[in-house]
Amino acid sequence: MTLLNVENLTVQFDTDEGRITAVENVSFSLEAGQVMGLVGESGSGKSVTAKALMQLNPRNSIYNEQSKISLNLDDGPVDVLSLKTAKELKVVRGGAVSMIFQEPMASFAPAITIGKQMVEQLVLHKNLTKAEAKKLSVDMLDRVGISEAGKRFDQYAFELSGGMRQRAMIAMALSTSPKLLIADEPTTALDVTIQAQVIDLMKDIVADFGMGIIFITHDLGVIAQTADKIAVMYLGELVEQGSVRDVIRTPAHPYTQGLLNSLPKLEDLDKPLTPIPGDIPSPLERPSGCVFHTRCPKVVMGRCNVDIPTSVRVKDGHKASCLLIEDNGGPKL
Protein backbone atom coordinates (compact mmCIF):
# COMPACT_ATOMS: atom_id res chain seq x y z
CA MET A 1 0.00 0.00 0.00
CA THR A 2 1.24 3.45 -0.78
CA LEU A 3 2.47 5.02 2.42
CA LEU A 4 2.76 8.60 1.32
CA ASN A 5 1.14 10.52 -1.49
CA VAL A 6 2.16 14.06 -2.30
CA GLU A 7 0.13 15.78 -4.98
CA ASN A 8 0.69 19.20 -6.55
CA LEU A 9 2.51 20.50 -3.52
CA THR A 10 3.20 24.22 -3.86
CA VAL A 11 4.78 26.14 -1.01
CA GLN A 12 5.26 29.89 -1.06
CA PHE A 13 6.71 32.26 1.49
CA ASP A 14 5.58 35.79 2.15
CA THR A 15 8.68 37.87 2.70
CA ASP A 16 9.53 41.57 2.81
CA GLU A 17 10.84 41.29 -0.70
CA GLY A 18 7.71 39.71 -2.05
CA ARG A 19 6.19 36.28 -2.38
CA ILE A 20 8.75 33.56 -3.04
CA THR A 21 7.85 30.23 -4.55
CA ALA A 22 9.99 27.61 -2.84
CA VAL A 23 8.24 24.48 -4.11
CA GLU A 24 6.01 24.31 -7.15
CA ASN A 25 3.67 21.55 -8.18
CA VAL A 26 5.61 18.65 -6.73
CA SER A 27 4.02 15.20 -6.82
CA PHE A 28 5.48 11.89 -5.72
CA SER A 29 4.58 8.81 -3.75
CA LEU A 30 6.41 6.44 -1.47
CA GLU A 31 5.73 2.83 -0.52
CA ALA A 32 6.46 1.34 2.89
CA GLY A 33 9.96 -0.12 2.97
CA GLN A 34 11.10 2.10 0.14
CA VAL A 35 13.92 4.64 0.28
CA MET A 36 13.49 7.71 -1.87
CA GLY A 37 16.44 10.01 -2.45
CA LEU A 38 15.53 13.66 -2.83
CA VAL A 39 18.41 15.33 -4.66
CA GLY A 40 19.04 18.93 -5.51
CA GLU A 41 21.34 21.86 -4.95
CA SER A 42 20.91 24.36 -2.16
CA GLY A 43 17.81 26.42 -2.77
CA SER A 44 16.12 23.69 -4.79
CA GLY A 45 13.34 23.28 -2.23
CA LYS A 46 14.15 19.80 -0.99
CA SER A 47 14.12 20.72 2.68
CA VAL A 48 10.94 22.77 2.31
CA THR A 49 9.27 19.77 0.66
CA ALA A 50 10.35 17.49 3.51
CA LYS A 51 9.32 19.97 6.18
CA ALA A 52 5.90 20.30 4.57
CA LEU A 53 5.35 16.62 5.41
CA MET A 54 5.54 17.53 9.09
CA GLN A 55 4.18 21.06 8.69
CA LEU A 56 7.46 22.39 10.02
CA ASN A 57 7.74 25.31 7.62
CA PRO A 58 7.62 28.75 9.26
CA ARG A 59 4.42 30.71 9.73
CA ASN A 60 4.86 32.82 6.63
CA SER A 61 4.53 29.74 4.44
CA ILE A 62 1.50 29.34 2.21
CA TYR A 63 0.30 26.04 0.81
CA ASN A 64 -1.90 26.53 -2.21
CA GLU A 65 -5.32 24.94 -2.60
CA GLN A 66 -4.34 22.03 -4.83
CA SER A 67 -1.56 20.89 -2.48
CA LYS A 68 -2.34 17.54 -0.94
CA ILE A 69 -0.25 15.32 1.31
CA SER A 70 -1.83 12.11 2.48
CA LEU A 71 -0.27 9.60 4.78
CA ASN A 72 -1.73 6.10 4.96
CA LEU A 73 -1.46 4.81 8.49
CA ASP A 74 -2.84 1.65 10.08
CA ASP A 75 -5.88 3.46 11.42
CA GLY A 76 -6.77 5.21 8.18
CA PRO A 77 -5.38 7.96 5.97
CA VAL A 78 -4.26 11.30 7.38
CA ASP A 79 -4.57 14.52 5.40
CA VAL A 80 -1.41 16.21 6.66
CA LEU A 81 -2.10 19.75 5.48
CA SER A 82 -5.50 19.86 7.19
CA LEU A 83 -3.99 19.24 10.63
CA LYS A 84 -4.12 22.40 12.68
CA THR A 85 -3.65 22.13 16.43
CA ALA A 86 -0.53 20.90 18.16
CA LYS A 87 -2.48 17.87 19.33
CA GLU A 88 -3.53 16.92 15.82
CA LEU A 89 -0.02 17.51 14.53
CA LYS A 90 1.50 15.09 17.04
CA VAL A 91 0.96 12.24 14.59
CA VAL A 92 3.26 13.79 11.97
CA ARG A 93 5.68 15.36 14.41
CA GLY A 94 7.45 12.44 15.99
CA GLY A 95 4.48 10.04 15.99
CA ALA A 96 4.22 8.34 12.62
CA VAL A 97 6.78 10.64 10.99
CA SER A 98 10.27 11.26 12.38
CA MET A 99 13.06 13.42 11.13
CA ILE A 100 16.85 13.20 11.33
CA PHE A 101 18.56 16.54 10.90
CA GLN A 102 21.82 17.42 9.28
CA GLU A 103 23.71 18.85 12.20
CA PRO A 104 23.24 16.62 15.25
CA MET A 105 25.01 19.09 17.53
CA ALA A 106 22.40 21.70 16.72
CA SER A 107 19.42 19.40 17.05
CA PHE A 108 20.11 17.99 20.51
CA ALA A 109 19.47 20.35 23.38
CA PRO A 110 22.93 21.00 24.80
CA ALA A 111 21.97 21.20 28.47
CA ILE A 112 19.77 18.09 28.66
CA THR A 113 21.16 14.57 28.60
CA ILE A 114 20.64 12.47 25.49
CA GLY A 115 18.62 10.00 27.53
CA LYS A 116 16.26 12.58 28.97
CA GLN A 117 15.48 13.87 25.48
CA MET A 118 14.79 10.36 24.22
CA VAL A 119 12.54 9.54 27.17
CA GLU A 120 10.66 12.81 26.83
CA GLN A 121 9.48 12.10 23.32
CA LEU A 122 8.67 8.45 24.07
CA VAL A 123 6.49 9.43 27.02
CA LEU A 124 4.77 11.97 24.80
CA HIS A 125 4.16 9.77 21.78
CA LYS A 126 4.01 6.22 23.07
CA ASN A 127 2.31 6.49 26.47
CA LEU A 128 5.17 4.64 28.11
CA THR A 129 6.24 5.03 31.71
CA LYS A 130 9.63 6.62 32.25
CA ALA A 131 11.19 3.29 33.18
CA GLU A 132 9.87 1.58 30.06
CA ALA A 133 10.97 4.52 27.95
CA LYS A 134 14.46 4.35 29.40
CA LYS A 135 14.74 0.66 28.68
CA LEU A 136 13.60 1.17 25.09
CA SER A 137 15.97 4.11 24.64
CA VAL A 138 18.99 2.17 25.83
CA ASP A 139 17.99 -0.71 23.55
CA MET A 140 17.75 1.65 20.60
CA LEU A 141 21.13 3.25 21.35
CA ASP A 142 22.58 -0.23 21.48
CA ARG A 143 20.81 -1.16 18.26
CA VAL A 144 22.42 1.70 16.29
CA GLY A 145 25.86 0.59 17.37
CA ILE A 146 26.61 2.86 20.30
CA SER A 147 28.86 1.05 22.75
CA GLU A 148 28.11 1.31 26.47
CA ALA A 149 24.62 2.51 25.69
CA GLY A 150 23.69 2.68 29.37
CA LYS A 151 26.49 5.15 30.01
CA ARG A 152 25.83 7.23 26.89
CA PHE A 153 22.21 7.56 27.96
CA ASP A 154 23.29 9.86 30.79
CA GLN A 155 25.70 11.91 28.72
CA TYR A 156 25.26 15.24 26.96
CA ALA A 157 25.51 15.77 23.22
CA PHE A 158 28.88 17.52 23.46
CA GLU A 159 30.41 14.44 25.07
CA LEU A 160 29.75 12.37 21.96
CA SER A 161 31.73 12.48 18.73
CA GLY A 162 30.07 13.55 15.48
CA GLY A 163 29.37 10.00 14.30
CA MET A 164 28.05 8.97 17.71
CA ARG A 165 25.76 11.98 17.85
CA GLN A 166 24.30 11.15 14.47
CA ARG A 167 23.73 7.55 15.61
CA ALA A 168 22.01 8.82 18.74
CA MET A 169 19.86 11.07 16.56
CA ILE A 170 18.89 8.05 14.45
CA ALA A 171 18.13 6.03 17.59
CA MET A 172 15.92 8.82 18.86
CA ALA A 173 14.07 9.15 15.58
CA LEU A 174 13.48 5.40 15.40
CA SER A 175 12.44 4.82 18.99
CA THR A 176 8.84 5.87 18.36
CA SER A 177 8.78 3.34 15.47
CA PRO A 178 7.65 5.84 12.82
CA LYS A 179 6.17 4.74 9.52
CA LEU A 180 8.00 7.45 7.64
CA LEU A 181 11.51 8.65 8.37
CA ILE A 182 12.79 11.88 6.85
CA ALA A 183 16.57 12.13 6.84
CA ASP A 184 17.72 15.64 5.93
CA GLU A 185 21.39 15.43 4.85
CA PRO A 186 22.16 12.95 7.64
CA THR A 187 25.70 12.23 6.46
CA THR A 188 26.80 15.58 5.06
CA ALA A 189 28.57 16.74 8.21
CA LEU A 190 30.37 13.41 8.67
CA ASP A 191 33.71 12.09 7.45
CA VAL A 192 33.64 9.54 4.64
CA THR A 193 34.55 6.62 6.88
CA ILE A 194 31.80 7.54 9.35
CA GLN A 195 29.42 8.26 6.48
CA ALA A 196 29.95 4.71 5.23
CA GLN A 197 29.05 3.39 8.70
CA VAL A 198 25.89 5.49 8.87
CA ILE A 199 24.83 4.43 5.36
CA ASP A 200 25.19 0.77 6.39
CA LEU A 201 23.16 1.47 9.50
CA MET A 202 20.36 3.11 7.51
CA LYS A 203 20.24 0.13 5.15
CA ASP A 204 19.93 -2.25 8.11
CA ILE A 205 17.16 -0.12 9.55
CA VAL A 206 15.03 -0.32 6.41
CA ALA A 207 15.51 -4.07 6.32
CA ASP A 208 14.53 -4.44 9.99
CA PHE A 209 11.80 -1.86 10.47
CA GLY A 210 10.32 -1.69 6.97
CA MET A 211 9.55 1.99 7.15
CA GLY A 212 9.55 4.42 4.26
CA ILE A 213 12.52 6.77 4.16
CA ILE A 214 12.96 10.07 2.39
CA PHE A 215 16.67 10.69 2.16
CA ILE A 216 17.58 14.26 1.32
CA THR A 217 21.08 14.87 0.08
CA HIS A 218 23.09 16.60 -2.59
CA ASP A 219 25.49 13.66 -2.82
CA LEU A 220 24.46 11.37 -5.67
CA GLY A 221 26.93 8.71 -4.56
CA VAL A 222 25.18 8.40 -1.21
CA ILE A 223 21.83 8.13 -3.01
CA ALA A 224 23.12 5.46 -5.38
CA GLN A 225 24.17 3.36 -2.41
CA THR A 226 21.02 3.74 -0.32
CA ALA A 227 17.94 4.65 -2.31
CA ASP A 228 15.47 2.67 -4.43
CA LYS A 229 14.23 5.69 -6.29
CA ILE A 230 15.32 9.25 -6.89
CA ALA A 231 13.53 12.55 -7.23
CA VAL A 232 15.64 15.41 -8.59
CA MET A 233 14.64 18.96 -7.72
CA TYR A 234 15.68 22.25 -9.27
CA LEU A 235 14.37 25.65 -8.15
CA GLY A 236 11.40 24.14 -6.39
CA GLU A 237 10.35 21.86 -9.21
CA LEU A 238 10.66 18.13 -9.47
CA VAL A 239 12.42 17.79 -12.81
CA GLU A 240 13.00 14.05 -12.90
CA GLN A 241 12.07 10.98 -10.94
CA GLY A 242 12.50 7.27 -11.37
CA SER A 243 14.34 4.23 -10.07
CA VAL A 244 17.93 4.79 -8.98
CA ARG A 245 19.30 2.70 -11.83
CA ASP A 246 17.30 4.47 -14.53
CA VAL A 247 18.01 7.98 -13.34
CA ILE A 248 21.71 7.51 -12.66
CA ARG A 249 22.49 5.39 -15.72
CA THR A 250 20.21 7.07 -18.24
CA PRO A 251 19.34 10.50 -16.94
CA ALA A 252 16.71 12.12 -19.15
CA HIS A 253 16.59 15.70 -17.92
CA PRO A 254 19.48 18.00 -18.95
CA TYR A 255 19.81 19.14 -15.33
CA THR A 256 20.30 15.59 -14.04
CA GLN A 257 22.75 14.97 -16.86
CA GLY A 258 24.65 18.14 -15.94
CA LEU A 259 24.68 17.20 -12.27
CA LEU A 260 26.14 13.78 -13.04
CA ASN A 261 28.70 15.25 -15.44
CA SER A 262 29.93 17.79 -12.94
CA LEU A 263 30.79 15.11 -10.39
CA PRO A 264 34.47 14.25 -10.20
CA LYS A 265 34.77 10.54 -10.96
CA LEU A 266 37.56 8.33 -9.76
CA GLU A 267 37.36 6.02 -12.78
CA ASP A 268 38.42 8.67 -15.25
CA LEU A 269 40.86 11.20 -13.87
CA ASP A 270 41.69 12.72 -17.26
CA LYS A 271 38.16 13.75 -18.00
CA PRO A 272 37.87 17.51 -17.38
CA LEU A 273 35.25 18.58 -14.89
CA THR A 274 32.25 20.07 -16.64
CA PRO A 275 30.26 22.43 -14.47
CA ILE A 276 26.67 23.40 -15.25
CA PRO A 277 27.16 26.91 -16.66
CA GLY A 278 25.89 29.93 -14.74
CA ASP A 279 24.57 30.24 -11.22
CA ILE A 280 21.32 29.19 -9.62
CA PRO A 281 18.90 32.10 -10.14
CA SER A 282 17.62 33.92 -7.08
CA PRO A 283 14.18 32.67 -5.98
CA LEU A 284 12.97 36.25 -6.44
CA GLU A 285 13.75 36.08 -10.15
CA ARG A 286 12.28 32.77 -11.20
CA PRO A 287 12.94 32.22 -14.90
CA SER A 288 9.93 32.08 -17.20
CA GLY A 289 9.01 28.86 -18.99
CA CYS A 290 11.22 25.95 -17.94
CA VAL A 291 13.04 27.09 -14.78
CA PHE A 292 16.27 25.45 -15.95
CA HIS A 293 16.41 27.21 -19.33
CA THR A 294 18.88 29.88 -18.15
CA ARG A 295 21.55 27.22 -17.55
CA CYS A 296 20.50 24.47 -19.92
CA PRO A 297 23.04 23.57 -22.63
CA LYS A 298 20.25 22.28 -24.89
CA VAL A 299 17.99 25.32 -24.56
CA VAL A 300 15.78 26.18 -27.53
CA MET A 301 14.92 29.87 -27.29
CA GLY A 302 11.35 30.66 -28.13
CA ARG A 303 10.26 27.34 -26.68
CA CYS A 304 12.01 26.70 -23.38
CA ASN A 305 11.75 30.28 -22.10
CA VAL A 306 8.07 30.49 -23.00
CA ASP A 307 6.29 27.22 -22.30
CA ILE A 308 6.07 25.41 -19.02
CA PRO A 309 7.07 21.74 -19.28
CA THR A 310 4.88 18.99 -17.90
CA SER A 311 5.93 15.61 -16.62
CA VAL A 312 6.63 13.20 -19.46
CA ARG A 313 7.03 9.45 -19.28
CA VAL A 314 10.53 8.29 -20.24
CA LYS A 315 9.87 4.67 -19.40
CA ASP A 316 7.92 2.82 -16.74
CA GLY A 317 8.18 4.74 -13.48
CA HIS A 318 10.73 7.15 -14.95
CA LYS A 319 9.41 10.65 -15.57
CA ALA A 320 11.03 13.94 -16.53
CA SER A 321 9.79 17.49 -17.07
CA CYS A 322 11.53 18.73 -20.20
CA LEU A 323 10.01 20.31 -23.29
CA LEU A 324 12.63 18.75 -25.54
CA ILE A 325 11.61 15.26 -24.47
CA GLU A 326 8.00 16.28 -25.09
CA ASP A 327 8.93 17.54 -28.54
CA ASN A 328 10.74 14.32 -29.32
CA GLY A 329 7.52 12.42 -28.82
CA GLY A 330 7.63 11.60 -25.14
CA PRO A 331 4.03 10.80 -24.16
CA LYS A 332 2.42 13.25 -21.76
CA LEU A 333 1.30 11.93 -18.45
Q: Is 85 in the site for other proteins (CB under 8 A)?
A: no
Going from the C-alpha of 288 to that of each of 39, 42, 185, the distances in angstroms are 23, 20, 30
Of 98-106, 124-132, 205-213, 215-223, which segment contacts other proteins by CB under 8 A?
A: 215-223
**Least distance between other proteins and beta carbon 166 (Å):** 11
Q: Is 265 in the site for other proteins (CB under 8 A)?
A: yes
Cα separation, 148 vs 168, in Å, equals 12
Amino acid, res. 279: D
Among 138, 244, 304, 325, binds other proteins (CB under 8 A): 244
To the nearest 10 degrees (0 to 180), the angle between helices 130-143 and 162-175 is 130
Our CB check for other proteins shows the closer of 62 and 196 to be: 196
Identify whether the C-beta of residue 10 lies closer than 8 Å to the C-beta of residue 21: yes
Our CB check for other proteins shows the closer of 80 and 144 to be: 144
- Dihedral sign (CA 318, 323, 325, 328): positive
Beta strands 61-63 and 68-73: pairing type? unpaired
Q: How far apart are the first and last CA of the chain?
A: 22
Three-state DSSP state, 280: coil
Residues between 146 and 165 that touch other proteins (CB under 8 A): 161-164
Site map 40..69 versus other proteins, x via CB under 8 A: -xx---------------------------
Among 106, 112, 263, 333, binds other proteins (CB under 8 A): 263
Q: Is 18 in the site for other proteins (CB under 8 A)?
A: no
**Least distance between other proteins and beta carbon 94 (Å):** 28
Among 65, 279, 285, 316, binds other proteins (CB under 8 A): 279
**Least distance between other proteins and beta carbon 295 (Å):** 8
Q: Is 89 in the site for other proteins (CB under 8 A)?
A: no
Our CB check for other proteins shows the closer of 262 and 288 to be: 262
Q: Is 196 in the site for other proteins (CB under 8 A)?
A: yes
Among 105, 124, 194, 300, binds other proteins (CB under 8 A): 194
Our CB check for other proteins shows the closer of 177 and 197 to be: 197
Residues between 295 and 324 that touch other proteins (CB under 8 A): none
Strands annotated E in the chain: 2-15, 18-31, 35-39, 61-63, 68-73, 76-79, 97-100, 180-184, 212-217, 229-234, 237-243, 312-315, 318-320
Q: Is 204 in the site for other proteins (CB under 8 A)?
A: no
Please, is 261 exposed, middle or buried when counting C-beta atoms within 10 Å of its C-beta (0-12, 13-18, 19+)? middle
Q: Is 245 in the site for other proteins (CB under 8 A)?
A: yes
Q: Is 258 in the site for other proteins (CB under 8 A)?
A: yes
Beta bridge partners, 241, equal 231, 319
Q: Is 105 in the site for other proteins (CB under 8 A)?
A: no
Identify whether the C-beta of residue 232 lies closer than 8 Å to the C-beta of residue 39: yes
Cα separation, 306 vs 287, in Å, equals 10
Residue 215: alpha-carbon gap to chain centroid = 4
Q: Is 262 in the site for other proteins (CB under 8 A)?
A: yes
- Residues lying near other proteins in the complex (CB under 8 A) are found at 41-42, 161-164, 191-197, 199-200, 218-222, 224-225, 244-245, 248, 258-260, 262-266, 269, 272-276, 279-280, 282
